[in-house]
Structure 1
Amino acid sequence: MHKPAEISENSAKRTALILAAAQSVVGSAAPISISLGGLAGFYLLQLNGADTALATAPVTGFNIGVALGALPAALLMRALGRRPGFVTGSIITALGGAIAAIALFRSEFWLFAFGLIVVGLGGSFVQQYRFAAADNAPPHFRPRAISWVLGGGVFAAVIGPQTVVWTRDLFEPVLFAGSFVALIALGLIGAAILSTLNVARENKTTAGVTGEPARPLSQIILQPRFMVAFACGVGSYALMSFVMTGAPLAMVGCGFTPDEAALGISFHVMAMFAPSFVTGRLIARFGKERIVAIGMLLLVGCAIVALSGIALWQFWSALVLLGVGWNFAFIGSTTMLTESYHVSEKNKVQGLHDFLLFSTVAFASLMSGFTLNAFGWEMLNWIVFPVAAFCLVLLGLLVLGSRHKTIAGAAE
């Protein structure tokens, strides 16, 4: 009687583990791009005697690539299946690494920014890993499946920054080029891991037997649950990107070394993903809304610590709180989001969600450089408070509305 469910959960675990392994390798492109994007951009602009206010534009390019690739990635996987789509994404990541390395050898800032856009296009496929894990899991296992995949980011937190440390000066005097050459290898290794994935046929079959008609997109996104999940997911991710993008430049500007800045990003990325091993269980025990709220409060805590001083431990502590807060808020909101659409609607909803999400994140990373240059590190952190408060208010209204409906239903 229970055998099919058991097989389904075993399949979900295998899928989540493969995607977690790919996350650890291909996902390391994000910390490499973020920790080096601003520094390499500053290096190239300074080398060419240009205005360094645009130093974070390559990081913005990475986020723009993720945003631009969100809908095409979803459509490609709908047409070809998850495995061919994910393998393609890894190859695109490797291609972006090659373009970025060539740009550094040629000292061309905008070519470097374009290279990071291509890396971001590959990253849009990485963002779909969590949805693939959720789609291939029974409802009770979905929070844990998402957490397992994002847990692969713990290894990305080590692989990415350590790649920076060991390869940054590999082609000296051309700084940073070695790290992007290494990114080519990481993309190809990720493609090999993803070639073992076997979910395309399952997803197509599942979509074909549900019998649920696809609703108009407007009807889906106007659901209060979708809107709150979207707002909390976008708010937490944008704040994380806004503060994290400016942090390496702020640390170097305060007299710390690029290696200390990269180590701070390593701690941050580890804090982003390490809680994933327990976040799914915490959601199951305490509820999605409560975990999202705790995440938002941790983001506020990050800002408070960052505003308390500019010692190295304060930078690092703030980045750790930033990572844990993002983990709770983003995994919780992603789980809420998966409850707002049917299987037949998943591709268009997931694609639109990630397009809007990473468009906002790209804008946040661009504004990080301008805000840091014009107003300093403190202003980056003051902006956290109103955004987090807005998300908490929306979350509170959703919970109150749900309780009111439950009480009204019981009364009837």
Structure 2
Amino acid sequence: MSSVSAASAPNPVSVDDRLAKRNALLLAMAQSVGGASASIVIATGSLVGYMMLDENKSLATVPVSAMVLGTAIGTLPAGMIMRRFGRRAGFAGSSVVAIVAGLLAAYAIFQNSFLLFCLACSLSGFTGAFVQQYRFAAADTASDAFKPKAISWVLAGGVLAGVVGPQTVIWTKDLFDPILFAGTFLAQAGLAVVALCFVLFLKIPTPPRRVKGVREGRPIMEIVRQPRFIVSAACGVTSYALMSLVMTATPLAMIACGLTQTDAALGIQWHVLAMFGPSFFTGNLIARFGKERIVAVGLALLAGCAIVALMGVELSHFWTALILLGLGWNFGFIGATAMLTDTYRPEERNMVQASNDFLVFGFVAFASFSSGQLLDIYGWSTVNWIVFPFVALSLVLLWWLLSHERNKQTP
């Protein structure tokens, strides 16, 4: 159904929601397979890097870091490309790049080329910036009443991706034995083909062009100087960067402690499920208890992850820590994102969201790059001890913001 026919229909709200439901279902299915690429790289990237490197094993986490850096680099181009050419064209193009990334990663493993593998992982990360937009695209054709459900459908696809990715690793890691994980990245390319098939059937109108010379909203520097923006960005960076720091190091730490690759893959599976699963009710918790309290709970869960990880190196310790890490990210990052929405006007939304994502993923990339060095030089305990000062700083900033805003309201 075209947008023209929808506009001329006698009941446009119901027609629009039929189209929105169709788009949301397609995007949820695309998320379940396209979003699996990230968990595949997370579960295997550092292990592949470790096997490829003869010296300086501290660089083993660079492939995962390259993926995160690729996502950071892709955030701004993703928004510009889809604004210029539309959602479907942007998503389809990124799926093609994801296919190339999977094939290139498999080839790099066969050739034992660490640099080529890192390039492939960075391309996977670049396409991940487009996958991040699935949830926003689901709301594009929805009525106000259906938008939350449309986003929830896509988040449900994220939960499926948390299962599909690690299970793909388990089923395919020995496909070309003794060359481990080559089959996994061929399968990653296959998942991207399936995602491409889904996004080609999307029907989302291309947004109108901007009028040249007309400014939309306030200057970005005026927005980012707001205390609420500073604190929400800081909490978002802390939640995501600490999650990346610990998560990137965990598969290597598990192998070093005598656990198996399957144990590591299943640990990442539980972690990703914990990241996305609570999203169905996080919004309700925010509405009931407030954004700042949910962020504080998320930060406390991140600290809880570090405490459990420091208590021992049995399988139960790693898996419990990974689950707490995922829950902490969910509450901390989604709560911080909700706080961010208080800082901009509707016409400023795209600019501020892209700027915030670029800032967040820039720090996430740095944390991911640092993870391997910290683990190799100082050990697993140090990786976890680092969590506490940043959690404490973010909690202090939250307290300062609430005090600042309370004082402003006091006559």
TM-score computed with the length of structure 1 as normaliser: 0.90
Q: Give the superposed CA RMSD.
A: 2.4
Kindly report which structure 2 residues correspond to 1:248-397, keeping only aligned pairs within 5 A, or say none: 248-397=251-400
Partner residue in 1 for 2:193: 188
Q: CA deviation at 1:145?
A: 5.2
Deviation, 1:140, is 7.3
Select the residue among 19, 25, 30 that pairs with 1:22: 30
- How many angstroms does 1:22 deviate by? 2.1
1:153-177 per-residue CA deviation (whole Å, 9 max, x = no partner) reads: 2111110000000011111222111
Q: Which amino acid aligns with 2:31?
A: Q
- The answer as to 2:130 corresponding to 1:122 is no
Superposed CA deviations along residues 323-360 of structure 1, whole A, max 9, x for unmatched, are 01101111122222233333433333222222221111
| Percentage of matched positions with identical amino acids | 53
Hey, what's the Cα distance between the residues in 2 that align with 1:403 and 1:146? 33
In structure 1, the gaps of 5 or more residues are: none
Matches for 1:212-251 after TM superposition, within 5 Å: 213-251=216-254
| Structure 1 match to 2:6 | none
Letter of the structure 1 residue corresponding to residue 43 of structure 2: S
Shift of 1:181: 0.3
Counterpart of 2:114 (choices 106, 109, 114) is 109
Aligned-partner Cα distance in 2 for 1:396–1:174 = 52
Contact 1:137 1:145 in 2 (8 A): yes
Q: Tell me the distance in 2 between the aligned counterparts of 1:8 and 1:92.
A: 31
**Residue 75 of structure 1 corresponds to which residue in structure 2?**
80
Q: Aligned-pair distance for 1:15? A: 4.5
Residue 183 of structure 2 aligns with an amino acid whose one-letter code is G
Amino acid at match of 1:225: R
Secondary structure of the residue aligned to 1:200 is coil
Aligned amino acid, residue 40 of structure 1: V
Q: Matches of 2:149 and 2:402 in 1, distance apart? A: 23
- Out of 100, 104, 121, the position equivalent to 2:105 is 100
Give the aligned residue type for 2:163. V
Which range moved further: 289-298 or 33-42? 289-298
Secondary structure class of the residue paired with 2:312: coil
Distance in 2 (CA, whole Å) between partners of 1:132 and 1:403 is 36
Change (3 A) 1:69 1:272: same
State how many pairs are aligned: 399
Picking from 40, 63, 66, the partner of 1:32 is: 40
Shift of the 195–340 alpha-carbon distance from structure 1 to 2, 3 Å rule, reads farther
Are 1:148 and 1:277, in contact at CA under 8 Å, matched by a contact in 2?
no
- 8 Å CA contact 1:271, 1:320 repeated in 2: yes
Of 398-407 and 298-307, more deviation after overlay is shown by 398-407
Task: Tell me the TM-score normalised to structure 2 length.
Answer: 0.90
Report Cα offsets for 1:127-154 as digits up to 9, x if no partner: 2223434666667776665554333221
Quick check: 349-358 or 304-313, which moved more?
A: 349-358
Question: Counterpart amino acid of 2:240?
Answer: Y
Q: Which amino acid aligns with 1:320?
A: I
The superposition leaves residues 238-290 of structure 1 with CA deviations (integer Å, 9 ceiling, x where unpaired) of 00010000000000000001111111111111111111121122222222222
Contact 1:74 1:350 in 2 (8 A): no
- 2:63 is aligned with what amino acid? P
Deviation at 1:9, TM superposition (A): 6.4
Secondary structure of 2:302's counterpart equals helix
Matched residues in 2 for 1:304 and 1:283: separation?
26
Q: 1:348 to 1:323 in 2, by over 3 A?
A: same
Q: In the superposition, relative to structure 1, how do residues 281 and 199 fare at CA in structure 2: closer, same or farther (>3 Å)?
A: farther
* Conserved 8 A contact 1:25-1:156: yes
Report the CA distance shift for 1:233/1:147 in structure 2 as closer, same or farther (over 3 A): farther
Counterpart of 1:234, as a letter, is: V
Query: In the aligned structure 2, how far is the partner of 1:364 from the partner of 1:272?
Result: 18
After TM superposition, give the deviation of residue 399 of structure 1 in Å.
2.5
* CA distance in 1: counterparts of 2:288 and 2:146, whole angstroms: 13
**Take 1:357 and 1:138, find their aligned partners in 2: how far apart are those partners?**
30
- Structure 1 position 41 matched with structure 2 position 57: no
2:203 aligned residue (191, 198, 204): 198
2:402 & 2:235 partners in 1: Cα distance?
14
CA contact (8 A) 1:75 1:347 kept: no
CA contact (8 A) 1:244 1:319 kept: yes
- Contact persistence 1:295–1:327 (CA under 8 A): yes
Partner of 2:92: 87
Q: Distance in 1 between matches of 2:348 and 2:132?
A: 18
